[in-house]
Protein backbone atom coordinates (compact mmCIF):
# COMPACT_ATOMS: atom_id res chain seq x y z
CA UNK A 1 0.00 0.00 0.00
CA UNK A 2 1.20 3.51 -0.85
CA UNK A 3 2.38 5.63 2.08
CA UNK A 4 0.09 8.53 1.04
CA UNK A 5 -3.29 7.57 2.40
CA UNK A 6 -5.29 10.76 1.68
CA UNK A 7 -7.26 9.34 -1.26
CA UNK A 8 -7.89 6.00 0.47
CA UNK A 9 -9.15 7.71 3.63
CA UNK A 10 -11.53 9.94 1.68
CA UNK A 11 -13.22 6.76 0.45
CA UNK A 12 -13.37 5.34 4.00
CA UNK A 13 -16.40 7.43 4.81
CA UNK A 14 -17.13 5.62 8.07
CA UNK A 15 -19.40 8.10 9.81
CA UNK A 16 -21.29 9.77 6.99
CA UNK A 17 -24.46 11.48 8.10
CA UNK A 18 -23.29 11.94 11.70
CA UNK A 19 -23.03 15.45 13.03
CA UNK A 20 -20.18 14.64 15.43
CA UNK A 21 -17.74 11.75 15.87
CA UNK A 22 -15.36 10.67 18.64
CA UNK A 23 -11.72 10.53 17.53
CA UNK A 24 -9.25 8.49 19.62
CA UNK A 25 -5.72 9.95 19.69
CA UNK A 26 -2.79 7.95 21.06
CA UNK A 27 0.30 9.75 19.68
CA UNK A 28 0.82 13.35 18.68
CA UNK A 29 -2.96 13.74 18.64
CA UNK A 30 -2.76 13.63 22.45
CA UNK A 31 -0.38 16.56 22.83
CA UNK A 32 -0.95 18.53 19.64
CA UNK A 33 -4.64 19.20 18.98
CA UNK A 34 -4.34 21.63 16.06
CA UNK A 35 -7.99 21.22 15.04
CA UNK A 36 -11.32 22.36 16.45
CA UNK A 37 -13.04 19.99 18.87
CA UNK A 38 -16.35 20.10 20.72
CA UNK A 39 -15.36 18.00 23.74
CA UNK A 40 -12.17 16.33 24.89
CA UNK A 41 -11.58 13.69 27.56
CA UNK A 42 -9.12 10.89 28.40
CA UNK A 43 -10.13 7.55 26.92
CA UNK A 44 -8.91 3.99 26.44
CA UNK A 45 -9.24 1.30 23.81
CA UNK A 46 -8.82 -2.44 24.29
CA UNK A 47 -6.73 -4.86 22.26
CA UNK A 48 -4.00 -2.48 21.07
CA UNK A 49 -0.53 -1.35 22.17
CA UNK A 50 1.32 1.82 21.15
CA UNK A 51 4.63 1.22 19.33
CA UNK A 52 7.23 3.48 17.67
CA UNK A 53 7.13 1.28 14.58
CA UNK A 54 5.93 3.75 11.93
CA UNK A 55 8.37 5.75 9.82
CA UNK A 56 7.87 9.50 9.54
CA UNK A 57 9.00 11.11 6.29
CA UNK A 58 6.84 14.20 6.49
CA UNK A 59 6.70 15.34 10.15
CA UNK A 60 9.59 14.08 12.29
CA UNK A 61 11.97 12.95 9.57
CA UNK A 62 12.57 13.23 5.83
CA UNK A 63 12.28 10.75 2.94
CA UNK A 64 16.09 10.33 3.07
CA UNK A 65 16.22 10.01 6.83
CA UNK A 66 12.85 8.97 8.30
CA UNK A 67 12.05 9.40 11.96
CA UNK A 68 9.90 7.09 14.06
CA UNK A 69 6.40 7.81 15.34
CA UNK A 70 3.76 5.66 17.00
CA UNK A 71 1.14 3.39 15.55
CA UNK A 72 -1.07 0.78 17.21
CA UNK A 73 -0.30 -2.92 17.09
CA UNK A 74 -2.93 -5.55 17.95
CA UNK A 75 -2.40 -7.21 21.34
CA UNK A 76 -5.29 -9.07 22.97
CA UNK A 77 -5.87 -8.03 26.60
CA UNK A 78 -3.86 -4.80 26.20
CA UNK A 79 -5.37 -1.41 26.99
CA UNK A 80 -4.12 1.77 25.32
CA UNK A 81 -4.77 5.06 27.07
CA UNK A 82 -5.14 8.21 24.98
CA UNK A 83 -7.28 11.27 24.45
CA UNK A 84 -10.70 11.35 22.79
CA UNK A 85 -12.00 14.37 20.91
CA UNK A 86 -15.56 14.96 19.78
CA UNK A 87 -15.18 16.49 16.31
CA UNK A 88 -17.37 17.39 13.36
CA UNK A 89 -16.76 15.41 10.12
CA UNK A 90 -15.36 18.48 8.32
CA UNK A 91 -12.22 18.09 10.49
CA UNK A 92 -11.37 14.82 8.69
CA UNK A 93 -9.84 16.70 5.78
CA UNK A 94 -7.26 18.28 8.09
CA UNK A 95 -6.66 14.99 9.91
CA UNK A 96 -6.29 12.99 6.67
CA UNK A 97 -3.61 15.44 5.53
CA UNK A 98 -1.82 15.39 8.88
CA UNK A 99 -1.91 11.57 9.12
CA UNK A 100 -1.28 10.93 5.41
CA UNK A 101 2.00 9.07 5.79
CA UNK A 102 0.55 5.58 6.09
CA UNK A 103 -2.34 6.02 8.55
CA UNK A 104 -5.82 4.73 7.70
CA UNK A 105 -9.11 5.56 9.37
CA UNK A 106 -10.58 2.67 11.38
CA UNK A 107 -13.61 2.46 13.61
CA UNK A 108 -13.08 1.51 17.23
CA UNK A 109 -14.94 1.10 20.47
CA UNK A 110 -13.54 3.35 23.19
CA UNK A 111 -14.20 3.88 26.84
CA UNK A 112 -14.39 7.53 27.81
CA UNK A 113 -13.03 8.75 31.15
CA UNK A 114 -16.39 8.77 32.88
CA UNK A 115 -17.08 5.16 31.85
CA UNK A 116 -19.27 5.81 28.83
CA UNK A 117 -18.66 3.48 25.85
CA UNK A 118 -18.51 5.17 22.46
CA UNK A 119 -17.85 4.19 18.88
CA UNK A 120 -15.41 6.37 17.06
CA UNK A 121 -12.51 6.72 14.75
CA UNK A 122 -8.78 6.07 15.11
CA UNK A 123 -5.89 6.49 12.64
CA UNK A 124 -3.67 3.39 12.50
CA UNK A 125 -0.63 2.74 10.30
CA UNK A 126 -0.79 -0.97 9.50
CA UNK A 127 2.28 -3.01 8.63
CA UNK A 128 1.46 -3.12 4.91
CA UNK A 129 2.08 0.63 4.39
CA UNK A 130 5.26 1.72 2.60
CA UNK A 131 6.51 3.85 5.52
CA UNK A 132 6.20 1.06 8.12
CA UNK A 133 9.47 0.25 9.88
CA UNK A 134 8.41 -2.36 12.42
CA UNK A 135 10.15 -3.47 15.61
CA UNK A 136 13.80 -2.88 16.49
CA UNK A 137 15.81 -2.95 19.73
CA UNK A 138 14.96 -0.02 22.03
CA UNK A 139 18.47 1.45 21.80
CA UNK A 140 18.24 1.48 18.01
CA UNK A 141 14.81 3.09 18.00
CA UNK A 142 15.98 5.74 20.49
CA UNK A 143 19.13 6.43 18.42
CA UNK A 144 17.03 6.89 15.26
CA UNK A 145 14.72 9.25 17.15
CA UNK A 146 17.71 11.17 18.54
CA UNK A 147 19.17 11.89 15.08
CA UNK A 148 15.90 12.55 13.19
CA UNK A 149 14.02 15.73 12.56
CA UNK A 150 11.56 17.01 9.97
CA UNK A 151 9.14 19.82 9.11
CA UNK A 152 7.21 19.39 12.40
CA UNK A 153 10.37 19.48 14.51
CA UNK A 154 12.77 17.14 16.24
CA UNK A 155 11.74 13.51 16.57
CA UNK A 156 13.03 13.62 20.17
CA UNK A 157 10.47 16.33 20.97
CA UNK A 158 7.67 14.00 19.76
CA UNK A 159 8.85 11.23 22.10
CA UNK A 160 9.42 13.52 25.10
CA UNK A 161 6.09 15.31 24.71
CA UNK A 162 4.25 12.02 24.31
CA UNK A 163 5.88 10.60 27.46
CA UNK A 164 4.99 13.76 29.38
CA UNK A 165 1.39 13.66 28.14
CA UNK A 166 1.07 9.99 29.13
CA UNK A 167 2.32 10.80 32.65
CA UNK A 168 -0.33 13.53 32.87
CA UNK A 169 -2.92 10.90 31.91
CA UNK A 170 -1.51 8.47 34.52
CA UNK A 171 -1.01 6.00 31.68
CA UNK A 172 1.38 3.08 32.05
CA UNK A 173 3.36 2.52 28.84
CA UNK A 174 6.59 0.59 29.31
CA UNK A 175 7.59 0.92 25.63
CA UNK A 176 7.35 4.72 25.53
CA UNK A 177 8.95 5.24 28.94
CA UNK A 178 11.82 2.86 28.11
CA UNK A 179 12.51 4.78 24.90
CA UNK A 180 12.37 8.06 26.82
CA UNK A 181 15.03 6.73 29.24
CA UNK A 182 17.22 5.56 26.35
CA UNK A 183 16.87 8.92 24.61
CA UNK A 184 17.80 10.84 27.75
CA UNK A 185 20.82 8.55 28.10
CA UNK A 186 21.91 9.41 24.56
CA UNK A 187 21.14 13.11 24.94
CA UNK A 188 21.70 14.12 28.57
CA UNK A 189 20.56 17.67 27.80
CA UNK A 190 17.32 16.68 26.02
CA UNK A 191 14.09 18.10 27.44
C1 LIG B 1 -2.42 9.57 16.86
O2 LIG B 1 -1.85 10.42 17.55
O3 LIG B 1 -3.55 9.14 17.21
C4 LIG B 1 -1.85 9.04 15.59
C5 LIG B 1 -0.36 9.06 15.51
C6 LIG B 1 0.25 10.42 15.49
O7 LIG B 1 -0.23 11.32 14.78
O8 LIG B 1 1.25 10.64 16.20
**Domain encompassing residue 96:** 6-184
- Residue-wise pLDDT tens digits, 2-16: 667 888 877 777 677
- Residue-wise pLDDT tens digits, 24-52: 999 999 999 999 999 999 999 999 999 99
Distance CA(34)–CA(112), nearest Å, equals 21
The string of DSSP codes covering 50-114 is EEEEEEESSSSS-SSS-EEEEEEEEEEEEEEEEEEEEE-GGGHHHHHHHTTBTEEEEEEEEEETT
Which CATH number does the domain housing residue 15 bear? 3.10.490.10
Residue 175 covered by a domain: yes
- Residue-wise pLDDT tens digits, 52-83: 999 999 999 999 999 999 999 999 999 999 99
% of residues, the chain, pLDDT over 70? 95
Q: Ligand 1, residues 24, 58, 67, 70: which to mutate, most atoms within 8 A of Cβ? A: 70
Residue 174 covered by a domain: yes
Residue 119 CA from chain centroid, whole number: 18
Residue 191 covered by a domain: no
- Residue-wise pLDDT tens digits, 108-129: 999 999 899 999 999 999 999 9
How many domains is the chain partitioned into structurally?
1
Distance CA(92)–CA(160), nearest Å, equals 27
Residue 14 covered by a domain: yes
Residue 120 covered by a domain: yes
Q: Given pLDDT bands bounded at 50, 70 and 90, which one contains residue 140?
A: very high
* Beta carbons of 184 and 190 less than 8 angstroms apart: yes
The binding-site residues of ligand 1, defined as CB within 6 angstroms of any ligand atom, are: 25-29, 69-70, 99, 123
Chain length of the chain: 191
Of these residues, 99, 109, 117, 138, which one is catalytic? Answer: 99
| Whether 77 is catalytic | no
Q: What is the 3-state secondary structure (H, E, C) of 39-58?
A: EEEEEEEEEEEEEEEEEECC
SS3 135: coil
Strands 67-87 and 21-25: antiparallel
Residue 189 covered by a domain: no
Mean pLDDT value of segment 75-96 = 95
Residue 19 covered by a domain: yes
Residue 190 covered by a domain: no
Amino acid sequence: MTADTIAINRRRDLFSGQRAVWLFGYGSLIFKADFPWLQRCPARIRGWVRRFWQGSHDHRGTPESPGRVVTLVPRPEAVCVGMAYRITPDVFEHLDFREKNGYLRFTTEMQLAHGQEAQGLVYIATEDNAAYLGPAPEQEIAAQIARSSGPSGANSEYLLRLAEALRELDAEDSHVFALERCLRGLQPAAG
